[in-house]
Structure 1
Amino acid sequence: MISDAHVAQYAAEGCVRVEGVFSAEWVARLLAAVDACAAVFARGEVPAAVMDGGTQNPPSIHFTGEGGVQLRNCVPAHADFVAWLADSPAAAVVGRLTGASSVRFWMDATFVKSGADPEAATPWHNDVCTFPFVGEQLPSFWVALTDVDADNAPMLTLAGSNRDAWRYHSPLSRQDMTLPGYRPWDELLARVAAPDADVRMWEAKAGDILLIHPRTIHASLPRKAGLPGRRVAFTTRWIGSDVVWAPDALSASIPRLSDHPAMRVGEAPPEGLFPVRWRS
């Protein structure tokens, strides 16, 4: 399924599409799990965890904000998500594309876009800016659960931005200080607005995946006005073998992790908290 060309493109550009990774059956199961979790939130409740141990993420949440409706941390709350972790090729694909010798699941975020509100386009950003982990093998594994053409909010990436040696000072971080190795957020926005910016658009069929490097600058277009249906993307974050715990004053504080005695700065997170899902 994964060719040397896929691996080379990911390394060079910071994003790669692999077609047909997930069958129609997996797509249907994941969509049903998304809708089941959304229905619990619609009742004003929080989905209960069904996965034993391992993940140390906060409870599931649902909110409407930048990029439309988001569901987060729902994988531990539905049996089909848990089965997908155990039985699908997801972890192996992440390992092969990143070159990691082992892969652990970290967290999930599902993005549901409907209608055609321009504000529902995901703004330009990259993922690593607030991560309390560092490493090359911290990708976002983006799964199309609906077809995504040029009219249905496709992803955009700035090719080669994965090779940046710095982070950007996120608007979500505290603004009363800065740290060495961070660049102003305005520089990120200026790069994608430049006339020579190498911006790529990624169409996908349901079951296709994008792997996005944590430093790759990316966004989405809005949906076209009058387009029926919705655009659903299920994303998961993974921890590869080069990743270590390295929070700083500008990274996010994650409940259950930031004060956990087993999380040691400069070391890989323990397998008791983040079980290995795949080894080479």
Structure 2
Amino acid sequence: MTRTLSGIEIERYQSDGVAYLPQAVDPAWVERLNALVDEQLSHPGQWVNDGNPGQTRDRMFTERYMWQHNATIRDYIFHSGCAALAAQAMQSSSARFYFDHLLVKEPETAAPTPWHQDIPYWPFRGNQICSIWLALTETTVEESAMEFVRGSHAARTYYRPQVFNARKDHPNQQWTGVDGGEPVPDIEGNRGDFDIVGFDVKPGDAVIFSAWTLHGARGNNSANKRRAALSTRWLGDDARWWPHPGSDPTVSQDDVNVQPGAYPADDRVFPRVWPP
């Protein structure tokens, strides 16, 4: 199955900073990726953040940067059609891949995903940078499906990165919480002041959103349902390599063949996926 975006979906991404994409990928990918979830929960890799290891409840688990050693993730990146969706939404002539991010909240996981935007955490600048968050389980907003502040990408306000959930042992403690940028407003405490939109999703549905869009998710209040999703991050024509204090150190200047301020034309680290 090859999915393309409708004109309305492109318009919503451009105006709202987020668009809901029902049945974004072939259903076969959902089955393969859910098998991967079970594998990674049992045998996590290097870039894991596991809030309650080994538990089947109250466990918030994330893992990223699997694509270079995991055949399933790599196959999904190059053959799911997500690169073409990203390029269409961003109105970009190309789409390069940045990284994969597996996100799991087991039943009765109280921890929310705090309101934030992605751009301060990543070593890039540009308007054509986005994520495709693919639902692997049926999930409502109350069960931790994503929510967004509609239109928050438009002002290009740069918000200060922070450590999620204030865990002292958080693996990202070393690179978040630096100075620079405005503090994220108290969206959750003043929901009526913001234009918040969320999407209940079925397996295979996705949301595509700008790296500048404020977003978050509640805890998973289900007593028996896992919330699982895979995000892929995409770079368009105007993306520029910009390593800076507070950005993700997983890929650093030592890893790339591109200088700060340049387009990330490094096919080994940021492969061009679309056009093929």
TM-score w.r.t. the length of structure 1 is 0.83
Distance (whole Å) between structure 1 residues aligned to residue 178 and residue 62 of structure 2:
29
Q: 1:95 is paired with a residue of what secondary structure?
A: helix
Q: CA deviation at 1:257?
A: 2.2
Q: Does 1:277 align with 2:276?
A: no
Offset of residue 237 of structure 1: 0.9
Q: Would you say 1:267 and 2:226 are equivalent positions?
A: no
Using the TM superposition, give the Cα deviation of residue 240 of structure 1 relative to its aligned residue in structure 2, in angstroms: 1.2
User: 1:247 deviation in Å?
Assistant: 2.6
Q: Quick one: which amino acid aligns to residue 238 of structure 1?
A: W
Following the alignment from structure 1 to structure 2, what is the Cα–Cα distance between the partners of residues 160 and 8? 12
Query: Is the CA contact (8 Å cut-off) linking 1:24 and 1:207 kept in structure 2?
Result: yes
CA separation of 1:10/1:248 partners in 2, compared to 1, >3 Å: closer, same or farther?
Answer: same
Secondary structure (helix, strand or coil) at the match of 1:235 reads: strand
Q: Deviations over 1:14-59 (max 9, x none)?
A: 1101111222211101111222233222xxxx3xxxxxxxxxxxx5
**2:132·2:207 contact (CA, 8 Å) conserved in 1?**
yes
Contact kept? 1:142, 1:233, Cα under 8 Å: yes
Match of 1:219 among 195, 216, 219: 216
Give aligned pairs, total.
256
Pairing partner for 1:113 from 84, 100, 105? 105
Q: Percent identity?
A: 25
User: Which letter maps to 2:155?
Assistant: D
Q: Which runs of 5+ in 2 are unaligned?
A: 53-57, 164-174
Matches of 2:130 and 2:201, distance apart in 1: 18
TM-score normalized with structure 2 length? 0.84
Identify the residue that residue 73 of structure 2 maps to in structure 1. Answer: 81
Cα 1:10–1:177 shift into 2, 3 Å: closer
Task: Tell me how far apart the structure 2 counterparts of residues 124 and 91 of structure 1 sit (CA, whole Å).
Answer: 26
Per-residue CA deviation, residues 156-200 of structure 1 (Å, 9 max, x unaligned), is 11001011222012234566743xxx2223xx2258725331111
Calculate the aligned-residue CA RMSD, in Å. Answer: 2.4
* 262 and 154 in structure 1: CA distance in 2 versus 1, 3 angstrom threshold: same
Report the counterpart of residue 49 of structure 1 in structure 2: none
Cα pair 1:137 1:240 within 8 Å, conserved? yes
Deviation (angstroms), 1:61? 2.8
Find the partner of 1:153 among 139, 144, 148. 144
Q: Within 1, Cα distance between the matches of 2:69 and 2:266?
A: 20
3-state SS, counterpart of residue 222 of structure 1? coil
Point out 4+ residue stretches in structure 1 off by more than 3 angstroms.
Answer: 172-178
Q: Which residue does the alignment assign to 1:184?
A: 183
Q: Which amino acid in the other structure matches residue 197 of structure 1?
A: F
The alpha carbon displacement at 1:276 in A equals 0.8
1-structure distance, mates of 2:178, 2:231: 32
Please point out which of 197, 200, 212 is paired with 1:200: 197
Contact 1:62 1:72 in 2 (8 A): no
Judging changes above 3 Å, is the alpha-carbon distance between structure 1 residues 256 and 19 closer, same or farther for their aligned structure 2 residues? closer
Which residue number in structure 2 is paired with residue 242 of structure 1? 238
Give the distance between the partners of 1:260 and 1:75, measured in 2 at CA: 16
Gap runs ≥5 in structure 1 = 47-58
Bigger mean CA offset, 103-112 vs 62-71: 62-71
Is the Cα contact below 8 Å between 1:158 and 1:192 reproduced in 2? no
